[in-house]
Structure 1
């Protein structure tokens, strides 16, 4: 469980910092790379990516919404079929970022498994 918490924290910090200078999709690179490096199980990788990437979007959006950007979020929510609900837009953006990060982390785990298969994961019958 210690490695799951560390992986989640690394993804949260890495996604938040890299998105300051790169586009939004840079969270894919962070989650994929960290999951390939740490070698978690697929479930742990998805959960860490979901939490790390989702919180890297949700926490700044929550802070901005509570500190004066609620009008902008409300206007943006009227463009989308959200009925002008800024809080629903906030939740939806965190979920989308979390799903992207989770799927990227699972891809990193699977990429690492494909690159270095072990005898334990072999499907060939043994004689």
Structure 2
């Protein structure tokens, strides 16, 4: 299997497990750990965890919101300039989580390079 696919799946699985016991920043821990142990090259260091967590958070927020007919998501989307669309809110949520994970993965890659040189 390709390292990119392994990193993508490992990031999602680790984020799911950590989300059960840790707050929102657990996705950053998952991305850092997978970048540390499953090294990627160039821009994929950022984009693979970014898309993994974007997918995870978008699906997770959809599943949580669908239980109450998107009531809270619609209200939050009205407060934010999203036109009251809960699906745009889910996309924005995924993008924010993806950015956090991508930046944490870059840190993980840099840590692996530092540890490798010492």
Structure 2-normalised TM-score? 0.89
Is 2:39 the counterpart of 1:36? no
Let me know the Cα RMSD of the aligned residues. 1.8
Residue 83 of structure 1: aligned partner = 83
State the 1:12 CA deviation.
0.7
Q: Tell me which structure has the larger Cα radius of gyration.
A: 1
Q: Deviations over 1:78-107 (max 9, x none)?
A: 222222211110110011111111111111
Residue 52 of structure 1: aligned partner = 52
For the structure 1 residues 24 and 69, does the alpha-carbon distance in structure 2 shift closer, same or farther, using more than 3 Å as the test?
Answer: farther
State the 1:67 CA deviation.
4.3
Moved more, 23-32 or 57-66: 57-66
User: Can you give the 5+ residue segments of structure 2 that lack an aligned partner in the other structure?
Assistant: none
Residue 68 of structure 1: aligned partner = 68
Q: Deviations over 1:11-60 (max 9, x none)?
A: 01111221121100011111111101112114222122112211221111
Number of aligned positions between the proteins: 118
State the 1:65 CA deviation.
3.5
User: Can you give the 5+ residue segments of structure 1 that lack an aligned partner in the other structure?
Assistant: 119-127
Structure 1-normalised TM-score? 0.83
